[in-house]
């Protein structure tokens, strides 16, 4: 039996730690430019209570998204023991390209996947490199695409990367900027012959959806809340309340559709590796997911990295997966045969999920 599996993983966690205390001197403003009525200490305290974030990581000034994507890719390739020249696809999920330190423009020509392939010194022209722009669920979507290529006979080995430097595109006058972080995670996906058992493993099912009728601009690029800044310079903005309501309504249903398609029982699900932008939101999503089966949510089913790593968008899930695989994430582990789920929601609004057996 041929299974499509993750055969190697790697991540890059930036070295610059930014705690909530370091926002004490920021001038936080309302959308209309007025000063926030509460002081920064209160803002930081309420922020932690809602999101769970205590600190986040920012990329070093001399690095860009394509650099840290390459670092994660090198680790994944080494872990998988594949010859990089035999890779059929390099798929890089991101949202803003390379944004140099203190720059106001995004650089996406050539694509980040092309830059990563160049940095890896891969000469094979049949190794196709392209980018995926799918919001925070981008890495999962890249894995789904890689699986499709492999199942269609178009590929045997694919490298999928999620990398982002959100610290370069946030408005420092917007308190939502405290959510965002930088990082990169990568995986090698391969067709693997299972000779020891007839039981299927690897990717068992997947589910994707794009809600764009009313939801397209829940995350968007907008001007700074500081009216003295140039209105043509744009920053990452979000409608937090709309996103929260959307996620709680739609993500559990998408997860259920994915699990049902796998044919597996929810009692067998060991871990849910979910995109992390808000700890309370994620807990509510997973609780609702279990309630759809009239089941109780296990206390250890959802590993949370958001408290120390923040929201690194497309990098969140592959980074957390790699940390658990490498036993670098306390109190959580994977064993052969474990059933896990990847799930994400983000700009679009896009939702996706994968059921995967280790």
- Please give the tally of structural domains in the chain: 2
β-pairing verdict for 350-357 and 202-210: antiparallel
One domain, residues 224 and 160: no
pLDDT at 162 over 80: yes
pLDDT at 199 over 90: no
One domain, residues 140 and 279: no
pLDDT score of 104: 85
CA distance 164 to 155: 26
pLDDT at 1 over 80: no
- Mean pLDDT across 100-117: 95
* Boundaries of domain holding 283: 202-357
pLDDT at 196 over 70: no
Q: What is the CATH number of the domain that holds 140?
A: 3.40.47.10
One domain, residues 337 and 211: yes
One domain, residues 170 and 318: no
Domain end (from 193, 225, 258):
193
Q: Quick one: tokens of 60?
A: 């070093």
Q: Dihedral sign for Cα 109, 276, 207, 183, please.
A: positive
Q: Please write the tens of the pLDDT for every residue from 64-95.
A: 999 999 999 999 999 999 999 999 999 999 99
Domain end (from 164, 193, 222):
193
Q: Please write the tens of the pLDDT for every residue from 283-313.
A: 999 999 999 999 999 999 999 999 999 999 9
Residue 254 per-residue DSSP state: H
Highest mean pLDDT among 34-48, 217-231, 260-274: 260-274
One domain, residues 211 and 187: no
Q: Quick one: tokens of 153?
A: 């006979």
CA distance 219 to 236: 7
pLDDT score of 26: 87
One domain, residues 35 and 120: yes
- Mean pLDDT across 136-145: 98
- 4 burial type by CB count under 10 A (0-12 exposed, 13-18 middle, 19+ buried): buried
- 267 burial type by CB count under 10 A (0-12 exposed, 13-18 middle, 19+ buried): exposed
Residue 127 per-residue DSSP state: S
Domain end (from 174, 193, 212):
193
One domain, residues 34 and 158: yes
One domain, residues 236 and 317: yes
One domain, residues 85 and 178: yes
pLDDT at 24 over 90: no
pLDDT at 194 over 80: no
pLDDT score of 223: 94
CA distance 340 to 177: 31
One domain, residues 82 and 7: yes
pLDDT score of 197: 66
Position 142 confidence tier, pLDDT thresholds 50, 70, 90? very high
One domain, residues 224 and 189: no
- Of 64, 60, 50, 53, the C-alpha closest to 23 is 53
Sole residue written with tokens 């990089």: 84
One domain, residues 93 and 73: yes
pLDDT score of 250: 98
């Amino acid at each position: 039996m041929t299974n499509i599996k993750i055969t190697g993983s790697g991540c890059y966690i930036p070295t610059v730690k930014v705690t909530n205390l370091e926002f004490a001197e920021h001038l936080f403003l309302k959308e209309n430019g007025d000063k926030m009525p509460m002081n920064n200490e209160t803002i930081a305290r309420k922020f932690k209570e809602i999101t769970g974030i205590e600190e986040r990581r920012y990329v070093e000034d001399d690095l860009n998204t394509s650099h840290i994507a390459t670092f994660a890719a090198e680790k994944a390739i080494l872990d998988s023991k594949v010859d990089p020249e035999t890779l059929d696809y390099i798929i890089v999920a991101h949202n803003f390209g390379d944004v140099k330190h203190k720059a106001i423009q995004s650089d996406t020509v050539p694509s980040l996947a092309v830059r990563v392939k160049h940095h890896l010194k891969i000469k094979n022209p049949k190794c196709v490199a392209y980018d995926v722009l799918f919001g925070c669920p981008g890495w999962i979507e890249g894995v789904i695409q890689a699986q499709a290529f492999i199942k269609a006979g178009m590929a045997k080995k694919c490298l999928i990367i999620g990398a982002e430097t959100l610290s370069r595109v946030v408005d420092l006058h917007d308190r939502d900027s405290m959510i965002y972080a930088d990082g990169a995670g990568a995986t090698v996906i391969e067709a693997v012959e299972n000779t020891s058992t007839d039981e299927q493993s690897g990717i068992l099912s997947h589910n994707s959806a794009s809600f764009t009728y009313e939801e397209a601009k829940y995350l968007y690029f907008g001007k700074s809340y500081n009216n003295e800044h140039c209105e043509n310079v744009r920053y990452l903005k979000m409608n937090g309340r709309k996103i929260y309501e959307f996620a709680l309504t739609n993500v559990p249903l998408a997860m259920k559709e994915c699990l049902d398609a796998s044919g597996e029982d929810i009692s067998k699900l060991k871990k849910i590796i979910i995109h992390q932008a808000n700890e309370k939101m994620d807990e509510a999503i997973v609780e609702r997911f279990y309630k759809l089966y009239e089941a109780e949510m296990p206390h250890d089913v959802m590993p949370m990295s958001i408290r120390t790593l923040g929201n690194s968008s497309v990098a969140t899930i592959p980074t957390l997966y790699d940390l658990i695989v490498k036993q670098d994430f306390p109190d959580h582990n994977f064993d052969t045969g474990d059933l896990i789920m990847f799930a994400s929601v983000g700009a679009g609004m896009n939702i996706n999920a994968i059921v995967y057996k280790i």
